[in-house]
Amino acid sequence: MDANEIIDIAQIRAFFKTYTTPQYGSIPQVGFKANIITCLRIGANADRLQGEDIEATLINLETGDEQTVPQKTDNFGCVDLTFDSKYERYSVPRYMHYNLVFKATSPAFQGISSQREICLNPWQPNGLFGHDTRSGVCPENPIGSVPKLHFNDVSYTYIGNVDEGFKVNEHMDMALTKSFLIRLHPFIDYGHNFATENHYKQIYSGRFVLNFMLLAPRNNELELTAQNIQNWDIISGDEKEVEIVNGVIKQKIDLEIEFAKLTSALHRTYGVIMLRPVDDGPFAKLNGTIAAGLFDAQVRHFGTVLQTHIGYGQEFKSDNLANEVMMKFEEMMIKHKAPKLGTNWKVSPYEAFKSLYNGNDKYTDIQDFRLSAYNNSVKIENFKLSKKEFEDLIHGEAKLETKRKFCHQYFIRDEATDIYGRKFRHVENEHYDCGRNPDKYIDFKAMKHVLSVVSAPQKDLYGSAFSESDRLNINTGFCMSFNNSTRFSTSKRIGTDIGVGMKIPLPFDILSIGGGVKFDYSMMWGTDESTGSSNRGCVNKSKNLGVDKITLAFKAKTRSCVLVTNKPYIDHQKTWAARKKQTFYKNHHERFNVCFDQDDIEEVSESWYYINEEGHMVNPLRDRYDARENLLHKIIRGEKTFNAWNAILQDQTKQIFLVKKDKFENPMTYFDSIYNQKDETKPLMYDSALPGIIEL
């Protein structure tokens, strides 16, 4: 006779009883106890199996683990069993399949057994925990995805600049490091819940890796999508191993921001966060997550909703946005781990200087000299430069006698021979005037070329390196006024002159007698009436510009030089045909760059400026977070460059504010075009300065 026909298993009820391991998020394999209740009957008449000894065995069909529990049925033929089992917390939530086997051990029914498949869902400890296949197949997870990390929002607090976070390279590119405190509450997204719509569970502890990346849009994109991901530039990023404590991640991140990207970083940006388990930790099987939301580096504290969730993990390999973001993370980490500040220049700063100055239509290429070589090229002994004279020229302290020595380079030609065989030097008319005022004809530009940086830059608040903030107020206005005035006045005077021959003193100086020759007595009275009116109307426009300045000191290998250029000057000449003066703007095209014979290792300092329009960032019509609409932002390197820019801004206020530009590439291009009007021979970089040069 078949055993299944002998023992009949009634409906099996399974309940979650308790966990056998601590419920910490860092324990991936979780033990639990299951309470199973059912009743057994025997024989064709289905008599209750009362008071009989049996063995109940629960077999995990996924792992092969089994547990046998001896039991005696009660007076109703029922058993109340407790089994131990375990599951992988971060695997796909599902009903796990088990076989429940009953075997009679009493002499009357020895060897008779029966079994049934049941399903237990330890991810659902309450409610839908157990399922008896007598009622049908076990429910399936329609999502079937591995649980992943998840967070909906994040808060940031700006801490400050890292003193050791400044970097300067030989091209005078600078980067500073800003620290932010990031705070978020991570959850596990199980993807599906068999009972409710809530499939998230908070994590209370564990170690993870947090990657942060700051992106800036080129065309003011408002959201990161698969269609526009190529239009976002990497500004900065960081990677930190973090610890979840009581369900919260609180971690300081350090964002190294290049000076060239500072304006982009302070407008609309996106913060992209990737959170993943450490490779060797208990969460290794848990999928990480990537989420992105707005980031505002201009405020001290802000929170943001991460509106963009990006696929992560094996099942998202076909997601284009996820692939592109992961490639940007890899690119960011390569830069983040680089010990030195990178540069886009492919040549040394000194070669870049010559390349940028050469190829000018108005001048020949620069003739490069060391001081001794320059003196060897000078044929007249009195025009040679001593080391002290050259030092004074470098520091802007040169005397007139030193500067006039360069006049011969432009206004004295080489020796020639006349028709009688006599040698002479041809001296141009301007030579005499140049000797009196060399600065009229010759421009001396002292520069310190940085060949390499040999120490980390320091922000010494009590020395030559410091930071400060100022405000520039730019005003324009137009006024109309009208004045009307009427005045009426009358006066009368009587007097007499009498000549006398004596001097008589009189009190109170009412009468005066002087010299014995004249006596004068006079009285005057009058009335005066005045009326007037005035009207005035003005329209004013004002802009406040905030200026941040930081000066850093560092040791560098330098080469001190003076670039000597002939200025254009006016030459009045008479022509035989016109018999009148004509004006010509003349200049000689040669340029000389004279440098010390030896390069130095010395401590130098340089200043960097950030200029931006002050005011509210949220306006009714204007989008101030769009870098294209914030026309008055600018980054500048060098004190002389800033002073020149400030002077131009004040001189050309109406052009900046009142003339509409139909087309411009970006704000910096617009301002650089204004700067070029003052110095057309100087090529301008993103910071309006030449790479690797400190102007003296």
Quick one: DSSP state of residue 229? G
Amino acid at 167: K
Helices (H), 70-193: none
Residue 76 CA to residue 49 CA, distance in Å, equals 7
pLDDT at 421 over 70: no
Compare 679 and 366 and report the one with higher pLDDT: 366
Contact 550, 607 (CB under 8 A): yes
- Which has the minimum average pLDDT: 223-227, 586-590, 629-633? 629-633
Q: pLDDT of 72-128, one tens digit each?
A: 999 999 999 999 999 998 889 999 999 999 998 888 888 888 999 999 999 988 878
What pLDDT score was predicted for residue 509? Answer: 29
Within a 10 A sphere around the Cβ of 364, how many other Cβ atoms?
Answer: 11
User: 624 pLDDT band (50/70/90 cuts)?
Assistant: low
Q: Would residue 688 be called left, alpha or beta, if left means φ above 0 and alpha means ψ between -120 and 50 degrees?
A: left
Report residue 187 CA to chain centroid gap.
Answer: 29
Name every residue whose Cβ is closer than 8 Å to that of residue 272 and which is 6 or more positions away in sequence: 212, 213, 214, 215, 224, 290, 291, 292, 310, 325, 328, 329
Compare 274 and 687 and report the one with higher pLDDT: 274
* Predicted model pTM: 0.74
Any idea what the Cα angle at residue 417 is, between residues 415 and 418, rounded to 5°?
A: 130
Question: Partners of 103 in the beta sheet?
Answer: 55, 113
Within a 10 A sphere around the Cβ of 221, how many other Cβ atoms?
Answer: 17
Q: How far apart are the first and last CA of the chain?
A: 109
Q: How many residues in total does the chain contain?
A: 696
Domain made up of 3-135: CATH architecture: Sandwich (2.60)
Contact 79, 85 (CB under 8 A): no
pLDDT at 680 over 50: no
Compare 344 and 10 and report the one with higher pLDDT: 10
Residue 282 CA to residue 108 CA, distance in Å, equals 50
- Which has the minimum average pLDDT: 405-414, 430-439, 487-496? 487-496
Q: pLDDT of 222-265, one tens digit each?
A: 888 888 888 888 999 999 999 999 889 999 999 999 998 888 88
Residue 291 CA to residue 306 CA, distance in Å, equals 6
Instruction: Say what the alpha-carbon torsion angle 139, 142, 143, 146 is, to the nearest 10 degrees.
Output: 30
HEC assignment per residue over 158-200: EEEECHHHCEECCCCCEEEEEEEEEEECCEEECCCCCCCCCCE
pLDDT at 218 over 60: yes
HEC assignment per residue over 569-604: EEEEEECCCCCCEEEEEECCCCEEEEECCCCEEEEE
